Structure 1
Amino acid sequence: MCNEHRSHVDIDQLSYEFSQVGLPICFPEGVPNLPLSDSIKITDRHAIVRAGAKGADLVMRRWSWPGPTGKPVYNFRSEGREFDSGRVLIIADGFYEFTDPPPVEGGPKKRPKSKWLFTMPGEPFFCIAGLLRTEQSVGEAYTMLTTSPGPDIAPYHNRQIVVLGRKDWARWLNPAVPAQDVLLSAPAGTLAVTRVR
């Protein structure tokens, strides 16, 4: 499952795009210095958007909380759950999946996995459906919600994170909208894939 994503989205662009869908962005903790990064990994802090009093609040939070065994909960299965609280949007302009490389006769048995970048053509960024939770050891932290893979992802993984285009941003932040109406597999052609390793 997705354990790395990227974001090259600056504050001005983010504010503009959210205003276009009727979700003005507020910064209740001050305007953050958004990291522009090719590699946002588990336990890193990153930008999320949650419902706010005047639209949507952008804050920086940790990706993943410790699970019962101590392993990080960075992806969370969405099927059959409603999520009537804690809904957030995770800002990204790409995410990665990894596959085992094809075997090479006579070559080394252990080789680096192939790394694939998924982006949303025609969009400067997209959002990933997330869930925010407070854990005593780390405070507020988020995880990415997953579902069955759409046709763009299925050749690379048997699950996919829920990617949301702009038409679903406000719907996901509204707990009155049933989660299962939003948490869907991406239709064919939603994502472009590029091999980066």
Structure 2
Amino acid sequence: MRSRSGLTVHHRRAFVVGPPQVVVRGGEPVVRLERSLVESWPLLPAIDRPAPLIRAVNDRWTNADRITTALDELPRLTDRAALRTLLTKLATGCRSQLEIWGHEHVFVGTGMPAFRRQQMVRVGGGRTFYLDVYAGRERVDFELDGAASHGSPAQREIDLRRDALLATAGIQVVRFAHRRLMCEPQQVRREILAILDHRRR
């Protein structure tokens, strides 16, 4: 099989169409997801590389540890250091490009506690929520609202109901919009520190 327009063929030495390199999905043999995510990393433009991995982890098709194991099998992968850095962030609970930005530029530095990311809580008769960035001692949930997913009135109503339920459990929800996180990171940091300081009193 050879490459052609719209299709690039890659050959792997010692490849066997069978376990453990191949699994069957829908009756067809396919390469393991983790291996395909790792091997596609250097083939994509740098800006597009994180999205497939974030999606695969978010949708629980795999996890950061399994992808890291696949990465360890390819010591000469191009730009593997950047992939390992992304996997570390996914392992700590970052679940979007915006959360990664916050992890690197906002929720770090002097005075910031050890936040828990994607902290699971149950409230309101067993409702389960995952908190983006949670300060456990102060019981504050910082939600990072993406530009696309939180702009509609329907989503706003869902967010308000969620925040009200969390308030019944003593958890204060603070939301930061995509624009503010990206354009005003230092101001957002100051607000976070002030909120945490107030909750400790």
* Larger Rg computed on CA atoms: 2
Of Structure 1 and Structure 2, the greater helix share is in 2
TM-score after normalising by structure 2 = 0.26
Bigger fraction of residues in strand? 1
